[in-house]
Structure 1
Amino acid sequence: MLKTALQRLSRGLRHESSPGHVQLPLPPTLPASLGCDAVGIPAQHGFRLMARLPRKGCIFADAEWWWWIVPAGSDLDLTWPSPARYVAGTTVPAAHPRLIHWPEDPTPYTPPIPFYLMVCQLTGTAPSWAPDGTAGTVPAQRS
């Protein structure tokens, strides 16, 4: 856990924007007291995940990716499965994302554990909370 926290801290110190990256503009009326990170999901899976999650925070989307706001550190001791992209902070590799979902709750966050479990189910990856952050792959079922 300490190793993961140190890695998180070292990459979390970089907030500068680079070419092809944009800052997701969080609504100022929603307090983000826990800090914010973003999880990107390919757009073709966006509506499916959105429909199945009971609570959703701010969601930004462009033509290729949907970006879900989660509390900072939602990657500690776990690995978000591919093709999901976990980004420390809210500067994401996107073209022109816009806010497509305003949460009913007074915070910008999607609860990370249910969201992580849904992403694992979508990708066929077994959820894992291993101390080294490794997650396993679910073997393909034979018919």
Structure 2
Amino acid sequence: LCLGSNLGDRKDLIEWGVKELERNGITVTARSSLYETEPVDYEEQPWFLNCVIQGATRLPVGRLLATLKGIEAGAGRTENVRFGPRRLDIDILLYGDEVITEGPVIVPHPRLNERRFALIPLTEIAPDLTDPRDGRLFSEILSGLDEGKKVLKST
């Protein structure tokens, strides 16, 4: 899962989100550092604070998505502008080694291999993880991307 926030107290919102994941049946097994990331797609907004967590859950993927949307809403997220500012955003990057191409959840996340703000923290916690679609290491995918938007480890 990739958590991000660019409104309010970003760090507190991410911490709250991680606690809510735990309260809702998702056991956090690994967590990346926090990263300051330049906005992508809709650029006229504050920078994001992002992290990636690895978790274990018994929730089916559709129920997981509904749970994440509920957590986002609990943090005060409203849908105003696509890719716009948000208090808390939680994306499903991967669901084990499953490939799901239809329905409300597509995994791996359809833009994961283009997003340094997700790949950098993902490869921090799982450097040997491979894309279940083609077997490539995410670390190799990351090394092949242009520098693009800034992703800086937060202090």
Shorter-chain TM-score above 0.5: no
The structure richer in helix per residue is 2
Which is strand-richer, 1 or 2?
A: 1
